[in-house]
Amino acid sequence: MHHMTLAEIARGLADKKFSSEELTKVLLARIAQLDPQLNSFISLTEDLALSQAKAADARRANGESGALLGAPIAHKDLFCTQGIRTSCGSKMLDNFKAPYDATVVAKLAAAGAVTLGKTNMDEFAMGSANESSYYGAVKNPWNLEHVPGGSSGGSAAAVAARLLPAATATDTGGSIRQPAAFTNLTGLKPTYGRVSRWGMIAYASSLDQGGPLARTAEDCAILLQGMAGFDPNDSTSIDEPVPDYSASLNGSLQGLRIGVPKEYFSAGLDPRIAELTHNSIKALEKLGAEIKPISLPNMQHAIPAYYVIAPAEASSNLSRFDGVRFGYRCENPDNLIDLYKRSRGEGFGAEVQRRIMVGAYALSAGYYDAYYLKAQKIRRLVKNDFMAAFNEVDIILGPTTPNPAWKLGAKSSDPVAEYLEDVYTITANLAGLPGLSMPAGFVDGLPVGVQLLAPYFQEGRLLNVAHQYQLNTDWHTRTPTGF
Ligand code: GLN
């Protein structure tokens, strides 16, 4: 039962082959048995799951249908869940029970999805390895000595290990696409503004975007359908109609113009990943796509710009965690200043503190123009590169990551080495564009992903290309040994 995709589950439930309650019990037992190896969950919500599953079964018995009605999922632990711990992977929020549901959580619950739990993540979504979590590192089911990617490493490891078919995640600089690549999943970061950020604990507000992590493009279409849409509670949510993503899967790729940026194939790229990327290009050419070399000349400036903008926004967003309003408070403060200092010093981990300091520095009088403003100008150049490229091509293709998943601990003492691993993913966040990572092969037994980028609101095009690729390849069907 645990091998089924969301699409297969929906068919099985509709055909009354099993109930949502039966499936939920199977998956909860599987999580109890296997998750101790992976550490992919921070909290399990068994009671909620069983009551939601029973309610979904009752709705089906009353004649209701829907692809998510009775489908088991989990939420990255930065989506607020009413009455349930929402930790953001931090000691700061270890005791925080959200007073309301995030829009994404509420929409999926209304569609009948069953919440099995809250998944592990890098603290405040800062990281590319899921090693900065207060709740400990997550292990990659493909090799337990390797990282699953981050920051949505818990969602990725759980879905890859077949503990559940799909999960929500968020992507500020690659946190959906990079863990998807490292664990052989399909992950989609939507256009900025497509999915509501209301009730999603903020890291860098102009970059953060929620999206689906699943095993197939078909399942990403189902989960995105339940997440996307205008939300008056989020001032950056965009009032655009949501297309039928599942209906977009079957378009022909004949004549599709795929741009391949020459800057992607530079010295930093593992040559074995370059080869697998070229193989996926050939597979898409066979399906009728045309390949065009393109250039993204400002790509080299994207990492420095991102690692100024994201910490700047984080330093502002995280100022609310002051030991007074919510979350952790230090013991026996001497006075108010001591309370602020010690609550933040004890509640935040090292990477979060580093980013707050970098961000506060970049925003300070005297440095603002040199760092923050300069980074914003680079951001515009990165966007302009994409706008020029999308005049020539329909989609941009390249590797998702320069290297496969590294060993646990290999980069944790060198933050810059870890930042450099985000080179292919962060440009989409700077520009606000949608991006998808799909499985494209293996290197030393570790999965490799290929990334597709599309113009604003063309999530359907990304899903279409990925689905057609998956109908003609079997990388996405491979299962990690032991799971
Ligand atoms: N690795 C990037 C960072 O640490 C991206 C994280 C994310 O997308 N949340 O900021």
Tens digits of per-residue pLDDT, 85-127? 999 999 999 999 999 999 999 999 999 999 999 999 999 999 9
pLDDT of amino acid 367 = 94
pLDDT in tens, 54-63: 999 999 999 9
Q: Could you tell me if the CB of 294 is within 6 A of ligand 1?
A: no
pLDDT tens string 285-306: 999 999 999 999 999 999 999 9
Q: How far is the CA of 51 from the centre of ligand 1 (A)?
A: 34
pLDDT at 267: 79
Q: How far is the CA of 107 from the centre of ligand 1 (A)?
A: 25
Q: Can you read off the two tokens belonging to residue 156?
A: 């990725």
Tens-digit pLDDT profile for residues 404-416: 999 999 998 899 9
* Count of C-beta atoms within a 10 Å radius of residue 127: 28
Summarised one tens digit per residue, pLDDT across range 218-266 is 999 999 999 999 999 999 999 999 999 999 999 999 999 999 999 999 8
Mean pLDDT of 267-279: 96
What is the pLDDT averaged over residues 270-275?
98
C-beta of 78 in contact with ligand 1 (< 6 A): no
Question: Which CATH number describes the domain made up of 6-255+435-477?
Answer: 3.90.1300.10
User: What is the predicted pLDDT for the residue at 424?
Assistant: 98
- State yes or no: pLDDT of 326 exceeds 90: no
Pocket test for ligand 1, best of 155, 175, 355, 429 (most atoms within 8 A of CB): 175
Concatenated DSSP letters of 93-142:
GTT-B-SS--HHHHHHHHTT-EEEEEE--SGGG--SSS-S-TT-PPPBTT
Question: Is 418 near ligand 1, meaning CB less than 6 Å away?
Answer: no
| Whether 132 is catalytic | no
| Digit-coded pLDDT (tens) for 330-388 | 999 999 999 999 999 999 999 999 999 999 999 999 999 999 999 999 999 999 999 99
The answer, yes or no, to whether any atom of ligand 1 lies below 6 A from the CB of 310, is yes
Q: How many angstroms is it from 128 CA to the middle of ligand 1?
A: 6
Ligand 1 nearest atom to the CA of residue 203, by list position: 9
Atom number in ligand 1 closest to CA 126: 4
Q: Going by CA atoms, what residue is nearest to atom 5 of ligand 1?
A: 173
Q: From the alpha carbon of 429, which atom of ligand 1 is closest?
A: 8
Identify the DSSP state of 450: E
Per-residue model confidence (pLDDT) at position 265? 95
19 is an active site residue: no
Cα–Cα–Cα angle for 474, 476, 481, rounded to 5 degrees: 100
Give the number of the atom of ligand 1 that is nearest the alpha carbon of residue 128: 1
Respond yes or no: is residue 151 known to be catalytic.
yes
Mean pLDDT confidence for 428-433: 98
Q: Catalytic one among 40, 175, 343, 412?
A: 175
- Ligand 1 site, residue 128, Cβ cutoff 6 A: yes
Q: Which pTM does this prediction carry?
A: 0.98
User: 174 in ligand 1 pocket by Cβ < 6 Å?
Assistant: yes
Cα separation, 342 vs 85, in Å, equals 23
- Indicate the average pLDDT of the chain: 97
- Look at ligand 1, atom 10, and give the residue with the nearest C-alpha: 126
Sequence-ordered list of residues with C-beta below 8 angstroms from that of 442, at least 6 positions apart, any chain? 448, 475, 478
Alpha carbons 384 and 124: distance in angstroms, whole number: 30
